[in-house]
Structure 1
Amino acid sequence: MFHWYGLIIGIAVVVWWNIAEYLEPRLKRIIPITLLLSLVGARTYHVFEYFNHYQANIFGMLAVWNGGLSIWGALLLGGGYVWFYGRNLIWAVVTPLPLAQAIGRVANGVNGEFTNLVMGIPWWGMEAILDLILFGVIWRIKKEWRVVTYLVGYGLIRLALSPYR
């Protein structure tokens, strides 16, 4: 069965990967591992978040095709790896993240998720708009400020929007 969500998330990953590698060609060595660890972190965080559900269905923990990823887990494990392995390269990893996240939120919309309205716009759409604005800001500032700007900016976006989720 074809899943639009998977295709759109795949596009988001390809966009992120290409921009990050364009900004810093040395990332070619660590992006595949970063991506793998991000997926593991995203699923693991989700499983811990909904542990009561998965406790009754241990094999469900592995069933990624049934949904269940968390950006926080991806940032923790994937970002932690980049921070440990190539701290001086993390600015290039972070720069395209808000753009990829905006594309990912479109996947949420196609999937019918997060439809609560924020100022008349579905939650997923509002986050996509704010992620695009954050991407524009990050793209224009010095690379030394990009990581902290992403962390603070995305944190504020989620802090403001999560109650409407």
Structure 2
Amino acid sequence: MDGYPINPIAFELGPIQVHGYGLIIGLGIALGFYLASKEADRLGLPKDTFADLLIWAIPIALISARLYYVLFQWDYYAANPGAIIQIWNGGIAIHGALIGSIVTAIIFSRKKKISFWKIADIAAPSIILGQAIGRWGNFINQEAHGGEVTRSFLENLQLPDFIINQMYIDGSYYHPTFLYESIWNIIGFSLLLLLRRVNLKRGELFLSYVIWYSIGRFFIEGMRTDSLMLTDFLRIAQVLSLSLIVMAAAILVYRRFKFNLPRYNDQSNEGKITS
């Protein structure tokens, strides 16, 4: 072995083990919350809107992300029920988290009489940035990687040794697909910030995020070796990504031509389903 893997345990507090995976996920959430809160304040949303939303969205997203993963790996978890709660070992699905978060945000926005699309637009850059950061949790756990490659292949990518060494798993080197997706998401984050300055119509920034992320996820998922499978040949994430691209594009076009939508920077917060 050419290097030593990173210890997934960041530190210990007595009997409590603090995992690097959880710390990285927490960092992504914290930074995303900060950015969303600043933008929400600029656009005139009530103070603490995102703090109130995240009280519900974070636990529901984590639960739905885990349930999504467990559902499609049920044969294993049915035989090992004690492993269901062991999220520190990995095994949460971002699509499950997104489903839980969106449902939570829809209910929250209706209760608060705030436009769901306005909340979604504000959150979109934070979500994709959190995803970019969160992929490094997969790196710590040596998961979400692609097929076998050689060390020279990784060196030709100009990767630092700590990444190359962490991609050495059970005697072989693997594609760092976590890194490919993290970079794709960083580019998407930058693109969304630029689109925000264009002042799109309400809802279009979030739908652009869905399209961008899904395009990248479709291609990168095809490289992975740990995909959740719908059939022997169909990867769930790829099927869902294609579906989301079509749905988001159709909704974007329909809303733009069907409704007289406010612009992104409009400070009205009415919670109509179209706004």
TM-score of the aligned structures, taking structure 1 as reference length: 0.90
The reply to whether residue 63 of structure 1 matches residue 117 of structure 2 is no
| Greater mean alpha carbon deviation, residues 87-96 or residues 115-124 | 115-124
Which runs of 5 or more residues in structure 2 are unaligned? 1-16, 42-48, 110-115, 158-174, 225-275
Q: Indicate the residue corresponding to 2:66 in structure 1.
A: 43
Aligned mates of 1:36, 1:2 — CA distance in 2: 18
Partner of 2:84: helix, strand, or coil?
A: helix
- Matched to 2:216, the amino acid is I
Shift of 1:4: 1.6
Number of residue pairs matched? 165
Output one character per residue of 1:26-84: Cα deviation in whole Å (capped at 9) or x when no partner. 22221211111111111110110111111112232223233211101100011121133
The SS at the match of 1:30 is: helix
Give matches, 1:96-135, under 5 Å.
Answer: 96-116=126-146, 120=157, 122-135=176-189
2:31 maps to: 15
1:153 partnered with 2:212: yes
User: Which stretch of the first structure deviates more once superposed, 5-14 or 22-31?
Assistant: 22-31
More helix by share: 1
Classify 1:114/1:66 alpha carbon distance in 2 versus 1 (closer, same or farther; 3 Å).
Answer: closer
Distance in 1 of aligned mates of 2:50 and 2:58: 12
Once the two structures are TM-superposed, the CA of residue 148 in structure 1 deviates from its matched residue by: 0.5
DSSP 3-state at the match of 2:144: coil
CA contact (8 A) 1:98 1:131 kept: yes
Q: Distance in 2 between matches of 1:80 and 1:130?
A: 26
When structure 1 is superposed on structure 2, of 19-28 and 109-118 the one drifting more is 109-118
d(CA) in 2 for partners of 1:62 and 1:154?
28
Pairwise CA RMSD: 2.0
Aligned-partner residue type, residue 4 of structure 1: G
Determine what percentage of the aligned residue pairs are the same residue.
26
* Bigger-Rg structure (1/2): 2
**Is the CA contact 1:83–1:90 (under 8 Å) kept in the aligned structure 2?**
no
How far does the alpha carbon of each residue in 1:68-115 deviate from its partner, in whole angstroms, 9 at most, with x for none?
111011000111211332213121122211111111112212222233
**Which of residues 41, 48, 54 is equivalent to 1:31?**
54
151-160 or 16-25, which deviates more: 16-25
**Structure 1 Cα separation of the partners of residues 90 and 140 of structure 2:** 14
Give the corresponding residue for 1:91. 121
More RCO (CA 8 Å, sep 6+): 1
